[in-house]
Every structure is written in structure tokens, then in C-alpha cells.
Amino acid sequence: MGLSIGIDFGSAYTKAVYTTTGATTRMVPMRLNEPWTPSMVARNPRTGMLEVGSSAIGAAAEDPKNAIVLVRRLLGRYYHEPAVREVRQRVAYEIVRQEITGPGKAHVMVGDREFAPEELAAAILEEVRRDAEAALGQPVTRAAVTVPACSHFRQRYEIWLAARMAGLEVVRLVEAPVAAVYGFGMAPVAEGSRTVLVYDLGGSAFEVSVVRWIDGQAVLESMDRDLWLGGEAFDQVIVDQVMAGLRTWQPGVGERLRADPRSMWKLKVEAERAKKLPSWMPSADVLVVGALRGELDVDEEIQREECEAWIHPYIARTMTLVDQALKLGWPGAGEIEAVLLVGGPSCLPLVRRLLVEKFGEEKIKADVDPMLCNALGAAAVAARSAGVVCDDWLRKCPHCGALHRPWAEVCDQTGGPLGRG
Ligand SMILES: Nc1ncnc2c1ncn2[C@@H]1O[C@H](COP(=O)(O)OP(=O)(O)OP(=O)(O)O)[C@@H](O)[C@H]1O
Ligand SMILES: [Mg+2]
């Protein structure tokens, strides 16, 4: 049996961690020796081959129309769903309806090839598995994988399927807020209860959850979310502001930039870099040399205060959602033992300031890397579940033994009725 790792499959970045029960924990360095890899697949315009993760960054800049991002947001979705419409508005690649009768799934075109989202998700998870094997020097065959707390059955199934296609047996699908609590090392109490609030501001979505441990069991008490409020929205607002500045001295340039996917891609990459401005730096440059096929150099300085002002309405909305989650679950702010900062953008000083105002300094926990805490928690679950595989929710044919999707009624091999996995 190979090693078991924990994977946090994010819509922006995928992270993996290996740990043994109670002992050493090792981050799994990805291809560029970074602790995470972009959840991205892109076609290399020169070779026509698909590049995955960090290797896809260069190809994506050259040919953004064939750079597939936000693929996790398409898992388990039908083409007509509003969530798919939202993804379409944010990406340069083509999303098509699967050619079948009934409500077709959302599929993705890369060049002239059509892919199901789970195939692309599998490519990302396979890359992660390979990187983990290279780093750990042993086969990696099992994983506990995070799923968003708000995901439905079909989405969870397709995350599971992607992991299986990537050559990983899934030992557990862990709800992200529960993984975060483990990741922060908050052991469940054997008796009585403890209540924590998980503030997860990720790459594309915000989720707030109240997790209560009752007699050793984690219970997701209440949640609220905004599915389109995350780091990507902040990058977009920075791009919009930079372009508004350009327009004042070059009329029409904004429209021309918007019509040029390569320039827009580069601007977004620069906006993301500026957003991550370390707290000791007063300003950042957004620099794109040779936009509009060499016609234009964008060089805009952004001050910390103005960047915070642009993002402030979004962070204020997350605070409203925190209040709503508290109301839904009944605990008052006083009953919350700790507030866990999870997800890359939760590093923003503005987030911390507003949460401190609400809960007080001593309750805010940010001592674990917010990008990695979910993967750390998943790794802890993987280490404890070694040997168990979570296939029991699938349907099994009693005659031929084939496993089927959870909602299948009859076996496609024998035509007979299905039982439980
Ligand atoms: N220091 C930082 N300051 C602000 N934003 C940051 C910082 N570091 C990373 N980010 C942003 O965090 C986001 C990625 O965070 P994370 O990996 O938690 O998201 P994810 O898990 O992939 O997304 P989701 O949870 O929505 O599926 C990106 O938008 C990135 O730009
Ligand atoms: Mg996340």
C-alpha cells in the first residue's frame, strides 16, 4: 500500500500535505518547489500538448483562450445552471453543453477537443500525486480530499471521481471547515463541546462556517457563503481600476484591452501580485510591457490605501455574512472560542482588522498558513483513515461487482438492479 496524503483541491490553487499520525508533517513541494500549484490546465500553443499546474503558467500567458481555470467550479454542473453562466463571464475559454439528450453537463473546449471538467480536474490531481511521489520518494495511492461545505452530492461525486481518475483511492471527502479545524490543531474535546468559526476567504468564494465539536464529533452548525466573492474578484476590481485610469489619458484603450485576451491575462496576473502587497510596503506597481501586441506599456502605481478602499465593500459583505451565520446557528460572538483565518486573501490586513473589531484580538487565530491549513487537516484525516476507502456510497452490481454513480438505478453491464457499495 502506498502513502496517504491530504489534498485541498481549491478553485485557484491545489495544495498537498503528507503527515503520519501524531508525528512528522511534510508539505509536499510542487514542481517549482512551491507549496501549492495553480489549479490550471493550458494548451501549449507551440506543441499542442496540455500543460498542468505550474507548467501551464507560461502557456496560459501565450494562449489564454485555451487556459482552463476555475475548473473545480464546473464540477457536477449542468450547462444551463447560473453558476456556469458566472464562470463563462470570468474566463476566456469556451464552455459547451455536453451533446446528450436531457440537461447536458457543462464541458470545456481546449483547442478543438472537448473535455469533461472531471477529466481536467483529474489531470491537476494527477500532477499533484506525481509531485508528491517525487518529493516523498514512494508511491502515493490514497488521499483525503477537501470538498466545499456548500457543495452538493453531484459536485462531491465528481471531485471523488477526479481523484480516482488521478490514480488515488479516496479515504475521506472532508468538508473544508472541518479540515481547517484539524489543520489548526484544534483537537476535538472528548466531552462537552467547543465552537469555532471558520472564516474561509478563498480564490473564488467565501464561506463562513460555525463548527461545533460535540463529544468528539464535528458538527457543521451553520454556514453562509458568497460563491463569487474571493481573490479573483479582488484581482478583477484592481484590473478595472487600472483600466479606468488608463482611459482618462488614452480614450478607447480600455475597450481595446478588453478585446485582447493576452493583455487581459497579463494584467490580471499583475493585479494578483499587487494584491499580495506585503504589509510593510506602501505601494505596488502594475506593470505590463508590450500590451496590445507591443503598442502599449501599462505602468500604474497602486497605493495600499486605495487598494484597500476598492476591496473594502467585499470584505464588509463577508462581515455581514459572518453575522448571518452566527444568527443562523444561534451562538453569539461570545460563545465562539476561536476564529480561524483560512484561504489566501484572509492574509489581508483589512480582514484581520474587521474581525478583531467583531471578536477581539485574542480569538483570532492566524498561526497556520491560511493557504495550507485545509490540506494539513486533510492530511491528518488521511493519516488516521489509512486502510479505509470511502467507496461505500457508490452503488454496486451484485452480479458483476461493477461500481456505479450514487444515483444509478441499474447496472450498465448486466442491466440488473444495483445494491449499495
Ligand atoms: N498574501 C496574500 N494577500 C492577499 N491575497 C492572497 C495572498 N496570498 C494569496 N492570496 C490569494 O489567495 C487566493 C488563493 O487562496 P486559496 O488557495 O485559499 O484559494 P482556493 O482554495 O484555491 O479557492 P476556493 O477556496 O475559493 O476554492 C488567490 O486569489 C491569491 O491571489
Ligand atoms: Mg479553498
Distances (CA, A) of 58 to 55, 69, 399: 7, 14, 49
Classify 246 as helix, strand or coil. helix
| Cα 10 to ligand 2 centroid, rounded to whole Å | 5
Q: Grid coordinates representing 311?
A: 476591496
pLDDT at 330 over 70: no
Prediction pTM value: 0.91
pLDDT at 331 over 70: no
pLDDT at 32 over 70: no
DSSP label at residue 100: S
Looking up cell 457508490, which residue turns up?
394
Q: Is 76 in the pocket of ligand 1 (CB under 6 A)?
A: no
Among 275, 308, 350, name the best residue to mutate to test ligand 1's pocket (greatest count of ligand atoms within 8 A of Cβ): 275
Please give the pLDDT value at position 420.
60
- In the structure, ligand 2 is a single-atom ion and the residues with CB under 5 Å from it are 10, 202
Residue 28's nearest CA partner among 121, 122, 138 is: 138
Class of residue 50 by CB neighbours under 10 A (exposed 0-12, middle 13-18, buried 19+):
buried
Band of residue 311 on the pLDDT scale cut at 50, 70, 90: very high
The region that residue 185 occupies, defined by phi over 0 for left and psi between -120 and 50 for alpha, beta otherwise, is left
pLDDT at 221 over 90: no
Domain architecture of the chain: domains with CATH: 3-176+376-390 (3.30.420.40), 190-229+312-370 (3.30.420.40), 231-309 (3.90.640.10)
Looking up cell 462581515, which residue turns up?
319
Give Cβ neighbours of residue 248 (< 8 Å, ≥ 6 apart): none
Partners of residue 199 on adjacent β-strands: 208, 341
Please give the pLDDT value at position 2.
85
Residues 130, 124: Cα–Cα separation, whole Å: 10
Please give the pLDDT value at position 396.
75
